Amino acid sequence: MLSKELTDKYQLVVGLEVHAQLSTSSKLFAEDASSFGAEPNTHVSVITLGHPGTLPKLNMRAVDYAVRMGLACQCTISRRSSFDRKNYFYPDLPKGYQITQDKEPICIGGKVPFFLEDGSELEVQLNRIHLEEDAGKLIHAPGKEASWVDFNRAGTALIEIVTEPCIRSSEEAVAFLAEIRKLVMYLEICDGTMEEGSLRCDANVSVRLRGTEILGKKVEVKNMNSFRNLGNAIDFEYQRQIELLELGQEIISETRSFDADGCFTSSMRTKEELNDYRYFPEPDLPPLFLTEEWIESVNAQLPALPNALYRKFIAAYGLPRYDAALLTESKDVATWFEALCAKTAQYKAASNWMMGPIKSYLNETGTSFATFPLKVEVVAQLIALVEEGQVSFSVASQKIYPELILNPTVTPLEIAQRLNLIQESDASYLVPLAKEVLLENPDKVKEYKSGKKGLLGLFMGELMKKSGGKADPKVASRIFSELLAN
Ligand code: ADP
Ligand code: MG
């Protein structure tokens, strides 16, 4: 652990490079399917394999997706962008070069605002978003002197989101990546699964004396496939670099790899060993020109974004931050919640239903809102039933709701009546029962009167039993207070 003295002395500086695999059905420059998990080397056309004489052809769906992300991140969309060759030799790269965008990326600048858990708002500045193709996959067979290569992934479409070095803590980096993940999923351009590598992140980390302007030498950390790994890798580097500087040593610009089991980074290659990529304009692809109208048509189709919905849920629906964060976690949840709020004004109750019974049902059945049996109108009726005091929330959620799921066409009121669940708030029915409860528990009544007010819960419980769970708790508790007052 670093001392406060050292963390006061050194500032952490992080810039992230996030790769998102676009969920286009075909690759960036070829018609092969870009599906995950197919038999190895089954989606490998001559273009993917880089056979001589083949020509790449740009997938306009991928361009559409990159522009969606650019617009969502408030980037400037380039009317003209172009592709470059990044040359290096590696067995997973059939052509010996990767087609990417170096000098003229499709999206420039931009920013991503997001909230930390404590409700404070931050903003990360973007440098660019560009399009590029992915490499294949090497599989190192354990115990064998061989490696296999699967070219299915080679040539699939990626966007790379590059931030400015403006991130100042691991917490901030993780929250930013979480926001990016939400954005690509809301925009439906990437499935966001980090375990499968659909969303990957490299962290550039440096430290400098607080108060100084000049950036320190940076280290690039690769191989982080979870939020937790990203946070741990950054924290580890912060400490390692400070310790080196304190020993009077220099930081070497290098690429390091994160070991998730041991929770440390280790050197992969230093800057001197780095490839000279010899970027040059891709001669097989013309520059890409986008018209104002085309960009506008993409813009017109953007959905409401998670950050805007988060604000709305707090400002317009009066929800706590916690609720707003959970309800905007994914688009289908937010969309369903919005539809529900069009049918009820009990927003907090609606949120409780979403995060409680409805979420449990979806989790337990492994399903989503696409097949959720209840209409928003029915859930709104259920909320009204509780609000009007006809049934308690627990009766509504534990008795009526499961019945509704099985019979989604009947109304909650019909079920409540059929199952004889309508709450009893009639004093002429409840007072005699309450009196019975007190007569049966003379000792507890004494204790209550001598100050153990918590016993009210016990009396209520007994009354609930006697009334078959139907006593209106508000009325019942008033009756007990009155009976016990003298
Ligand atoms: P390179 O030339 O090594 O590719 P770039 O300037 O293109 O470096 O930046 C790549 C990424 O590294 C960006 O996300 C950028 O914000 C980040 N970065 C650049 N310099 C630093 C630094 N000194 N400390 C931390 N991150 C940095
Ligand atoms: Mg660079």
pLDDT given for residue 80 in this prediction: 98
Annotated domain spans of the chain = 4-294, 304-418, 427-485
**15 Cβ below 6 A of ligand 1:** yes
**215 Cβ below 6 A of ligand 1:** yes
Encoded tokens for 106: 């499709």
| Phi and psi angles of residue 430, each rounded to the nearest 5 degrees, phi first | -80, -35
Ligand 2 centroid to Cα of residue 148, in Å, is 30
**56 Cβ below 6 A of ligand 1:** no
Averaged pLDDT of the chain: 94
pTM above 0.85, yes or no: yes
Exposure of 126 by Cβ count < 10 A (0-12 exposed, 13-18 middle, 19+ buried)? Answer: buried
Q: What is the DSSP letter of 74?
A: T
Encoded tokens for 383: 């909320």
Rounded to whole angstroms, the Cα distance separating 440 from 367 reads: 48
Contact 471, 459 (CB under 8 A): no
- Condensed to tens digits (0 to 9), the pLDDT of residues 389-407 reads 899 898 899 999 999 999 9
Q: What is the DSSP letter of 55?
A: -
Encoded tokens for 321: 């931050």
For the 427-485 domain, the top CATH level (class) is: mainly alpha
Ligand 1 centroid to Cα of residue 15, in Å, is 6
Rounded to whole angstroms, the Cα distance separating 172 from 215 reads: 19
Residue nearest to atom 13 of ligand 1 (CA): 15
Contact 2, 207 (CB under 8 A): no
- Residue to mutate, 10, 18, 218, 279, ligand 1, most ligand atoms under 8 Å from C-beta: 218
Closest ligand 1 atom number to CA of residue 217:
23
Question: CB under 8 Å to 282, separation ≥6 — which residues?
Answer: 56, 82, 83, 84, 85, 99
Rounded to whole angstroms, the Cα distance separating 470 from 464 reads: 7
Q: Minimum-distance ligand to the CA of 216?
A: 1
Q: What is the DSSP letter of 46?
A: T
Question: CB under 8 Å to 235, separation ≥6 — which residues?
Answer: 170
How much helix, strand and coil, in percent to the nearest 5, is found in the chain? Answer: 40, 20, 40
Q: What is the DSSP letter of 475?
A: H
Mean pLDDT computed over 93-98: 95
Ligand 2 centroid to Cα of residue 122, in Å, is 24
**274 Cβ below 6 A of ligand 1:** no
Lowest mean pLDDT among 22-36, 265-279, 438-452: 265-279
Q: Minimum-distance ligand to the CA of 84?
A: 2
**102 Cβ below 6 A of ligand 1:** no
Q: If you count DSSP H runs as helices and E runs as strands, how many of each does the chain have, helices first?
A: 18, 17
pLDDT band at 486 (very low <50, low <70, confident <90, very high): low
Long-range contacts of 266-273 (CB under 8 A, 24+ apart): 268/222
Closest CA to 472 of 391, 386, 383, 382: 391
Lowest mean pLDDT among 55-64, 100-109, 184-193, 418-427: 418-427
Residue 323 scores a pLDDT above 80: yes
Q: Minimum-distance ligand to the CA of 102?
A: 2
Q: Minimum-distance ligand to the CA of 207?
A: 1
Contact 22, 159 (CB under 8 A): yes
- What are the distances in angstroms from CA 466 to CA 98, 296, 433? 75, 66, 7
Contact 352, 346 (CB under 8 A): no
**109 Cβ below 6 A of ligand 1:** no
Encoded tokens for 428: 């002429």
Q: HSE of 332 in the Cβ direction (CA atoms, 13 Å)?
A: 10
Residue 436 scores a pLDDT above 90: yes
Ligand 2 centroid to Cα of residue 106, in Å, is 15
- What are the distances in angstroms from CA 347 to CA 307, 318, 344, 354, 384? 19, 8, 7, 10, 11
- Condensed to tens digits (0 to 9), the pLDDT of residues 156-173 reads 999 999 999 999 999 999
Contact 167, 173 (CB under 8 A): yes
Bigger pLDDT: 486 vs 229? 229
Mean pLDDT computed over 286-310: 97
Residue 473 scores a pLDDT above 80: yes
Residues 94-111: b if buried by 16+ CB within 10 A, e if exposed: bbebbbbbbebbbbbebe
Lowest mean pLDDT among 90-94, 102-106, 115-119, 238-242: 115-119
Q: What is the DSSP letter of 94?
A: T
Closest ligand 1 atom number to CA of residue 204:
26
**206 Cβ below 6 A of ligand 1:** yes
Encoded tokens for 265: 């980074």
Residue 270 scores a pLDDT above 80: no
pLDDT band at 272 (very low <50, low <70, confident <90, very high): low
- What are the distances in angstroms from CA 379 to CA 41, 341, 361, 405? 49, 10, 14, 11
pLDDT band at 273 (very low <50, low <70, confident <90, very high): low
**163 Cβ below 6 A of ligand 1:** yes
Question: CB under 8 Å to 113, separation ≥6 — which residues?
Answer: 121, 122, 123, 307
Residues 284-306: b if buried by 16+ CB within 10 A, e if exposed: ebeebebeeeebeebeeeeeebb
